[in-house]
């Protein structure tokens, strides 16, 4: 990508500098952010293609603009391939992001209102008129691995709906299904949301479905993190038992940034109207072309081998970190990610410090709240680590064991520049042995 003949280099050297720097960063650092990946050259080409030039409001065969015949071909390919991948009845491939894929479900199925019930509204503002309370969501708490768009109070999902959260068990670090059942009976949710952005264990979709049936709730699974594994059958699929399944397309699925919303046929019309015209205008057709390309790749046998490598690498990395004395929430992982609890092992090191030190050494991770964290979100006591990107580079078990050693040394360095510089050198050697072929 970064060569001087590139039109950006020729036309806009100031902007081009950032491209060159980013290519260098991606080539020469170890990307361990669990939600990131490196797309293939074909997906990259589709994302930066002539499909960016076209408006195509509407859906295939029913557009509000002329000249959409090739848009229809591309969108139908994306739809058909997503259906084959996930075995879903209906899919909308237009959401610009995972949050919008989730919002489509809220808009289609939920009545908004106050985030508080009547009694709480009266207590908080005795003189204000009482508003209709919004429908109730039951979802995993953000600090326990959930997502902003699952009902956090600063997000539209938490501002317009009432929310009750389930948490992970303090001892096991796993979701306790008896607690979920008890909460569901108590709060009577309209929608139960499953799925997470920092949970390393298998989701028990069948048990959630049973609870949803018991309390008359709708069920939504946000599989953004584990979509790649679900697509190839290496994680159970929630599709058959859920009313809605949403995902981003850029994490383990290794496509362009974006989202999709799947649902049962009975919800198809409402979901489509919620995405357009409810939430969005013109679909990003270059992104939909790239989704089609990525879904095509995911349907090939090599993609299953890749997902198996992601899982094997996560296991190897987790075991090596534990062998070095680090503590992982729930003790390990069943998927592509793990959550390091720094309180045991490195009690004086915050997630923010660890993220900065590892960054200096060329190891890119993100600080993360851990369940029952006493520290604030910008500080945290945890680090989230994932293997999708290193697996795309072709790294395997030996490299994971090496990476675990580098992480542990960076945490033990107390930020010493010499120690981090030495690790940086070893990171560079590793990156050179496993060059990225995606640029
Ligand atoms: N922000 C994403 C993540 O990093 O997990 C979730 O949307």
What are the extents of the domains in the chain?
46-298, 302-433
Burial of 102 (0-12, 13-18, 19+ CB in 10 A): buried
Taking CA atoms only, the protein residue closest to ligand 1 atom 3 is 35
pTM of the model: 0.97
- 221 within 8 A of 246, measured Cβ to Cβ: yes
Domain 46-298 CATH class label: alpha beta
Is the C-beta atom of 149 inside 6 A of ligand 1? Answer: no
Tens digit of pLDDT for each residue in 165-212? Answer: 999 999 999 999 999 999 999 999 999 999 999 999 999 999 999 999
What is the Å distance from ligand 1's center to 122 Cα? 36
Ligand 1 mean position to 305 CA, how many Å? 24
Indicate if ligand 1 lies below 6 Å from the C-beta of 37. Answer: no
Q: How confident is the model at residue 283 (pLDDT cuts 50, 70, 90)?
A: very high
* Burial (0-12, 13-18, 19+ Cβ within 10 Å), 88: buried
**pLDDT digits 0-9 by tens, 75-113:** 999 999 999 999 999 999 999 999 999 999 999 999 999
Residues 6+ apart with CB under 8 A from 209: 219, 241, 242
Give the pLDDT confidence score for residue 363 in this predicted structure: 98
Maximum separation of any 2 CA atoms in the chain, in Å: 68
Q: Give residue 224 CA to ligand 1 midpoint distance, Å.
A: 8
Whether residue 115 has its Cβ less than 6 Å from ligand 1: no
pLDDT of residue 3: 74
Residue 197 CA to ligand 1 center (angstroms) comes to 6
User: Tell me: the pLDDT tens digits for 6-19?
Assistant: 999 999 999 999 99
Taking a C-beta distance cutoff of 8 angstroms, is the pair 436, 1 a contact? no
For residue 192, give Cα distances in angstroms to 182, 195, 209, 214, 215: 13, 10, 9, 12, 10
167: phi > 0 → left, psi -120 to 50 → alpha, else beta; which? beta
Looking at the predicted structure, is the pLDDT value of residue 439 above 60? no
CA separation for the pair 215, 201 (Å, rounded): 25
Alpha carbon nearest to ligand 1 atom 6, residue: 197
Q: How far apart are CA 3 and CA 90, in angstroms?
A: 42
Output the six-digit token pair for 209.
Answer: 């479905």
Instruction: Report the share of the chain in percent with pLDDT over 70.
Output: 99
Percentage of the chain lying above the pLDDT 90 cut: 98
| CA neighbor of 362 nearest in space, from 434, 420, 439 | 420
The mean per-residue pLDDT over the stretch 378-384 comes to 98
Pick the residue whose CA is nearest to atom 5 on ligand 1.
Answer: 197
Catalytic residues: 55, 57, 222, 248, 251, 257
Residue 4 pLDDT > 80: no
CA of 324 from ligand 1 middle (Å) equals 27
Q: 302-433 adopts what CATH topology?
A: 3.90.1150
Mutate to test the pocket of ligand 1, among 96, 147, 155, 223 (most ligand atoms within 8 A of CB): 147
Q: How far apart (Å, rounded) are the C-alpha atoms in residues 335 and 312?
A: 9
pLDDT single digits (tens) 107-151: 999 999 999 999 999 999 999 999 999 999 999 999 999 999 999
């Amino acid at each position: 990508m970064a060569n001087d003949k590139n039109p950006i280099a020729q036309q806009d050297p100031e902007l081009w500098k950032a491209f060159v720097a980013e290519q260098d960063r991606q080539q020469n650092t170890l990307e361990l952010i669990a939600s990131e990946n490196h797309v293939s050259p074909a997906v990259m080409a589709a994302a930066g293609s002539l499909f960016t030039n076209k408006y195509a409001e509407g859906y295939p065969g029913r557009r509000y603009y002329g000249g959409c015949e090739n848009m229809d071909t591309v969108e139908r390919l994306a739809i058909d391939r997503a259906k084959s991948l996930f075995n879903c009845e209906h899919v909308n491939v237009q959401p610009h992001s995972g949050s919008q894929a989730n919002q489509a479900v809220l808009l289609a199925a939920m009545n908004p209102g106050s985030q508080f019930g009547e009694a709480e509204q009266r207590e908080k503002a005795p003189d204000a008129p009482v508003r209709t309370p919004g429908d109730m969501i039951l979802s995993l708490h953000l600090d326990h691995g959930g997502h902003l768009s699952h009902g956090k109070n600063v997000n539209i999902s938490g501002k317009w709906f009432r929310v009750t959260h389930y948490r992970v068990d303090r001892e096991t670090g796993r979701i306790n299904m008896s607690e979920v059942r008890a909460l569901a009976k108590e709060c009577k949710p309209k929608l139960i949301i499953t799925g997470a952005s920092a949970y390393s264990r298998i989701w028990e979709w069948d048990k959630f479905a049973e609870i949803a049936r018991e309390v008359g709730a709708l069920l939504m699974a946000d599989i953004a993190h584990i979509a790649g594994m679900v697509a190839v059958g290496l994680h159970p699929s929630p599709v058959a038992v859920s009313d809605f399944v949403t995902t981003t397309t850029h994490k383990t699925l290794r496509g362009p940034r974006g989202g999709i919303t799947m649902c049962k046929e009975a919800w198809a019309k409402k979901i489509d109207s919620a995405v357009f015209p409810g939430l969005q205008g013109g679909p990003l057709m270059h992104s939909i072309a790239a989704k089609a390309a990525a879904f095509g790749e995911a349907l090939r046998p090599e993609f299953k081998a890749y997902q198996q490598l992601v899982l094997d690498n996560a296991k190897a990395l987790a075991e090596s970190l534990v062998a070095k004395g680090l503590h992982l929430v729930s003790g390990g992982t069943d998927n592509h990610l793990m959550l390091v609890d720094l309180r045991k092992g490195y009690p004086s090191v915050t997630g923010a410090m660890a993220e900065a030190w590892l960054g200096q050494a060329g190891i890119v991770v993100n600080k993360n709240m851990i369940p029952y964290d006493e520290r604030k979100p910008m500080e945290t006591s945890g680090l989230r680590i994932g293997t999708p990107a290193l697996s795309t580079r072709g790294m395997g078990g030996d490299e994971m064991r090496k990476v675990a050693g580098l992480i542990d040394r960076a945490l033990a360095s107390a930020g010493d520049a010499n120690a981090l510089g030495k690790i940086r050198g070893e990171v560079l050697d590793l990156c050179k042995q496993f060059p990225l072929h995606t640029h």
